[in-house]
Structure 1
């Protein structure tokens, strides 16, 4: 299993398969790289090299008691690209993985990138009078305690009904992954809090490569309108809403998401 060691001595696992322009996939909170198994075949079949990162505290990567912040996540992505000597990358993140992509762009710019895809992640999770596309019920007043309630971490009952972990795991294994059971522990709550505090709108507005902002029409976490509101921040960005999909749109409606990813990747050639 391929691995590399970060500059803060954490061993991170990744998958690297296929040939062609690299597509780097970064999964969401608690999800392993295998969460992308339903995209692997479509991307490789379209002529792309597919690299999927197990973030720290996910899958086969280390679980250190430090580095639980978005800035370190962005640095981890940068070190993966440097380790593999990747350029012209389409960087794709789902949920917290998208925040890792914005953290990378904030810290290192877009020099190594050909494009960015965010899948169902509002760039600002806290709602206020100037932004009403954040996490349902999350405000500055309750930010400090909101995610201490497990019900809030898993969604508030809005949107599409969640597939069970057993259903998702079976789909991932059938597509060639090693399973994708979510791994969330209290040790990673500081990471979720840091994630929730971020506002990536200024980063989106300054990107120098095309971006695709995808929303699940029936996301459990935020209104799908966040995609169009985010895309409006940059002339290089466009939005797409996946009908019927919840927050894990790439698992709920993989064929629709794969079509979007391949079409967008092809447009960057």
Structure 2
């Protein structure tokens, strides 16, 4: 369950009934009801801020609001309480900074957007470093593995592998980064559905040594909740077609469409 402090965090980052209890009557046989499968608790839409930038700014913190991930990391008891306090501190220290960056990003030109994306990455790195003070070494390593698996399946290898830390760990060459981006363009925003697809996609680009390093970074495959893999509006093939259709309609009306569109940018050169 998502606690109150996390809800407050989202309210700051994105600007701005009573529960009923049924009790069986005394000495009365309860009426049997069919079992209902419980859905995985995942951060709701908007939990991480508006759009992809808002989500990235909070680093890996949102993953710890997913029940199955907390269970995988054995987060419970006193440590769970520490995570709650940690989230409150993140709210105090970063919410205003993230909000200002997101506001500036909306008004920025394409060149300025690249600079703001770097700032978002810096904030995420600072938050992740502080998160390591709450998690132990094994938990931090496993969380990074899950985060990379999510990145590969949701955003594709070009975005997941060319980020600064992963690119350095794999020792990617500039030519390999270009090849990954070329494959991303060919896929038209479609990310791999499984880790097996992701491995196949990069097997022709990475060396055997790099592939082994990637396996170590990924760890054992984690069963990611489907809700975490949902695409953001405007991303993927559907988003590309929507943007193209909007441009065609605007051209028919004689409108200027030179203003930058909200398409997923290519990962920056590292």
**TM-score, normalization by structure 1:** 0.30
Would you tell me which structure has more helix in proportion to its own residues?
2
**Higher strand content, 1 or 2:** 1
Q: Which has the larger radius of gyration?
A: 2
